[in-house]
Amino acid sequence: MLKLVLGIEYDGSAYCGWQRQSHSPSVQAEVEQALSYVANKPVELVCAGRTDTAVHACEQIAHFETDVERSNRSWLLGANCRLPKNIRILWVHPIALSFHARFSAIARSYRFIIQNSPVPSALFHDKVCWEHCKLDDKVMHEAAQQLVGEHNFNAFRASGCQAKSPVRTIEYLNIVRCGELLYLDIKANAFLHHMVRNLAGSLMSIGAGDHDANWLLQVLKSKDRRQAAKTAPAAGLYFVQAFYPDKFKLQQTERRPLLF
C-alpha cells in the first residue's frame, strides 16, 4: 500500500466547500473523481483543513492511500486533465505511511483579503471582501497583536463549531495595506470554525472606527461570540499552507494568491 500527498490550489466560488456533499459540488468530490480516473478505482482524500463554501486555497494539502502504482507525473497530469479550470493539483509525491494530512499538521496559515475602495471590483468580486468605509490598517494591526499567543477564542468561533477546546495559539496576525487592498495574514497551531472570518469582521469594525483597539481584547476576554462583530464574507478567505514536522520532508513554499 502506498500513501501519496498532494498540494491543491482552487477557486472555491463555485463549490460548497472542500468536503464532499450529496446536494452540491465540492472540491473534494472533483479531485477524488479525477484521481480515481487515473487509478482506475475509487480514491478517497483526507485534507489538512476543510474550507467552507466560497473559500479558496493556495496550497491545500491532502493525502490518499492506494495499491496502484503510477509515476508522480502521471498522477499530476492525468488528474489535472480531468479537473475543471478552477481546481489544480500543484504536485504529488509519495509520503511515509505515518503521515496524515490533518493530524500531522503542526500549524496552518490563512490570508484574508479586503478591497477597501468606494466601488467594488467587477473582476474580483468573488475573490475579495469589499468594504467601502476607509479602514485604518495601522490601528487594525495594533489591535491584532493582542491576540498573538495562546488564548481562549470562544468569542470568535461559530455557534456550530465542534472543536472540544476553544484554546488556540496564534503565531502571527498581521495586517498590511497595498493600495486599496488590505491583507490579513494569520498562522496558528489550529483554527476554530469561522475563526479567521470572525476575527476579520471585528478587526474591520475597529478599522472603520466603530471601536478602539482595546475593544478586541475585551471581546476576547468575554468568551462570548455575541460581543464580537459580524462574520466577514467567505470570498476574501484563502487557505494558504499547512506546516508539518521536518521528518516528513515536505518541501513546500509559502504561496500567495497569484492575482494579488
**Cβ neighbours, 10 Å, residue 142:** 16
Would you call 52 a catalytic residue per the annotation?
A: yes
Per-residue CA distances from 4 to 23, 101, 105 (Å): 28, 10, 16
DSSP 29: H
Distance in angstroms between the alpha carbons of the first and the last residue of the chain: 40
Catalytic residue among 11, 52, 67, 137: 52
What is the C-alpha to C-alpha distance for residues 9 and 57, in angstroms, rounded to an integer?
5
Q: Cell 468530490: give the residue.
A: 29
Tell me which residue of 59, 1, 6 sits closest to 32, measured CA to CA: 6
What is the C-alpha to C-alpha distance for residues 226 and 107, in angstroms, rounded to an integer?
27
Quote the strand ranges of the chain, DSSP E.
Answer: 2-10, 46-47, 56-66, 87-94, 107-116, 129-131, 149-152, 167-178, 181-188, 237-243
Q: Catalytic residues, which ones?
A: 52
